[in-house]
Amino acid sequence: MEPITGGPAQLVLTASIARRYYVDGRSKVEIADEFRLSRFKVARLLDQARSSGLVRIEISHPGAIDLDLSARLQESLGLRRAIVVDTPEEDPAALRLQLGKAAADLLSEIVTADDVLGLAWARAVTAMTEQLTSLAPVPVVQLTGALTRPDVEANSVELVRHTARLSGGAAYLFYAPLVVPDAATARALRQQPEVAEAISHFDSVTKAVVGLGSWAADQSTLYDAMDEKACDQLLRRGVVADISGVFVDADGAAVQSRVTDRVIAINAEQMDAIDEVIAIPYGLAKVGAVRAAVRSGLVNGLVTHSPLARALLDETT
C-alpha cells in the first residue's frame, strides 16, 4: 500500500504522467505516445502512483454539505439518502434551522408529482417545513397526533396545512394528541372522521419525514410527554428510540406494548411500507437511537450534522 517509488527521475516521471492523466484527462495511450512508453508501462506507473499515495483524491465542495461524509454515511449504514451538514453548531435551535434547510432542499428535490408525502410531528420536521420554498403538488398526510409543549408554538396541524398549501396538493390532517391516557380513548379518537381519513391514507404514502428521539429524558418529545410508568415499562422492554411513536429496541425490532395502543400515530407495519422515511436527528446523545432506527429498516434516510455522522461511522468501525 505504501512502498513509494524508486529514484527521483522515476518519481518525477510518475508525477508527470499522473498530472497528464488525472489533471489533464489524457488517455493512457496518448500519454504513452508522448513519453515514448508502452501503454502498459503507463498503466503500471499510474497504479503505483495511486497505491503509493502519490496521487491524492479529495471530494469536497464549497457548500455546507459534507459530501464525502454524506456518501460514507449513506454507504456505511446502507441508507437510501444521507445528507450531512458540516457545522460545528451545537445550539439545538440553530442546528434545527440548518438541518431544516438541508432537509427542505432534499425534499423539494426528491418529491415528484407521483408521491404522497407523510409528515410526522417533530420540531425538526417543523423546522424543515418552515424552510420549504417549493414542492411538487402532492397530497400531504399527517402521520401523528400533535404534542403541544409550552416552548413550541407550531403544531402538527399547521405543519401539514402549510406544506400542502405550498405544494398545492390535498391535506389530510386532524386535531388529536400524539399520546392519550388510555387505549380506549385512543381507539375512540381513531374513529373520528378526520383521523380515520388520514389513517386510511397511510398505506399510500410514498415518502415521509419523521421525528426520531432517543428514549430518555430530554431526548424525545414523546418521552417527556408521557407518564413515568409508561416510560419505564418501555425502557424495560429495551426501547432505545421512538420514531414518531413507533418504539424500537437496540436491535431495531419494533416493540409492541400496551403503551403502543395509546399512541395516535402511524404504526410500525405501515411505516415499513413507506418507500422513503427520512429522519433529521441531531445531537451526539442520539447515536444509539439512530442506529436502532436504521437497523429497524423503518428509517432509510438521514439529514444530520457532521459530529453525529462521525459518531455513527466510528461506531460502525
Partner DNA sequence: CGGGGGCCTGCTCATATGAGCGGGCCTGAA
Partner DNA sequence: TTCAGGCCCGCTCATATGAGCAGGCCCCCG
Binding site for a copy of itself (CB under 8 A): 4, 6-12, 14-16, 18-19, 22-23, 25, 49-50, 52-63, 65, 67-68, 70-72, 74-75, 81-83, 102, 105-106, 108-110
Cα–Cα dist 276/262, whole Å = 26
Q: Smallest distance from the beta carbon of 24 to DNA, in angstroms? A: 12
The three grid cell numbers given for residue 75, joined into one nine-digit string:
454507504
CB 137 within 8 A of CB 169: yes
Crossing angle of helices 287-296/306-316, nearest 10°? 70
| Pairing verdict, β 301-305 and 246-249 | unpaired
| Residue 188 binds DNA, judged by CB under 7 A | no
Q: Which does 194 bind (CB under 5 to 8 A by kind): DNA, a copy of itself, none?
A: none
Minimum distance of a copy of itself from residue 154's CB (angstroms): 24
83 binds, among a copy of itself, DNA, none (CB under 5 to 8 A by kind): a copy of itself
**Inter-residue contact 137 to 113 (CB < 8 Å):** yes
* Residue-wise burial string across 107-140, b where 16 or more C-beta atoms lie within 10 A, e elsewhere: bbeebeeebbbbbbbbbbbbbbbbbbeebbebbb
| Residue 19 contact among DNA, a copy of itself, none, beta carbon within 5 to 8 Å by kind | a copy of itself
| Shortest distance, position 12 Cβ to DNA, whole Å | 16
Rounded CA-CA distance 44/34 in Å is 16
**Where does this chain touch DNA (CB under 7 A) — which range of 34-42, 95-103, 126-134, 185-193?**
34-42
Residue with cell 438541518: 99
Among 11, 19, 22, 41, which residue interacts with DNA (rule: CB under 7 A)? 41
Could you say which of 44, 149, 187, 258 contacts DNA (CB under 7 A)?
Answer: 44
Question: Cβ closer to DNA: 47 or 315?
Answer: 47
**What residues have CB less than 8 Å from 184, skipping those under 6 apart?**
none
Q: Which does 210 bind (CB under 5 to 8 A by kind): DNA, a copy of itself, none?
A: none
Write out the residues near DNA by the rule CB under 7 A: 27-30, 37-41, 43-44
